[in-house]
Amino acid sequence: MRFKIELELNDDSKEILIGECKYLNTKVDTDIFYKLVEKANCINWNKGNRTEHYVLFSKLGFTDHLLEVSKKRDDLLLVSL
């Protein structure tokens, strides 16, 4: 499987920041976030022994559903461009 994501690794704290930028003409919904989580599972770096954080960037913002999901998760940051 091929895909493009941005990531930042911290070897000392075993934290990984996984992000994706969506320059779409629609608001980003939960399906994009859950696909990002699936992509994170393909990254072998410290798998099972790391703390994952996610960031999504969006041209037009986010759906109400994704905003609600983000309120319940400490590991998800949403950024409107």
Q: Which of the 8 DSSP states describes residue 57? A: E
CA 16 – CA 46 distance, rounded (Å): 9
Task: Evaluate whether residue 54 is within a structural domain.
Answer: yes
Instruction: Give CA angle at 62 (57, 64), nearest 5°.
Output: 155
Is residue 9 within 8 A of residue 18, CB to CB? The reply is no
Residue 14 carries which side chain, given as an amino acid letter?
K
- Residue 32 resides in a domain: yes
Q: 56 is in which domain, residue-wise?
A: 14-80
pLDDT tens by residue, 33-71? 999 999 999 999 999 999 999 999 999 999 999 999 999
Query: Rounded to whole angstroms, how far apart are CA atoms 78 and 74?
Result: 11
Query: Does 42 fall in a domain?
Result: yes
With respect to residue 66, please indicate whether it lies within any of the assigned structural domains: yes
The single-letter code of the amino acid at 25 is N
How many domains would you assign to the chain?
1
**Global pTM?**
0.89
> Is 23 a member of any domain?
yes
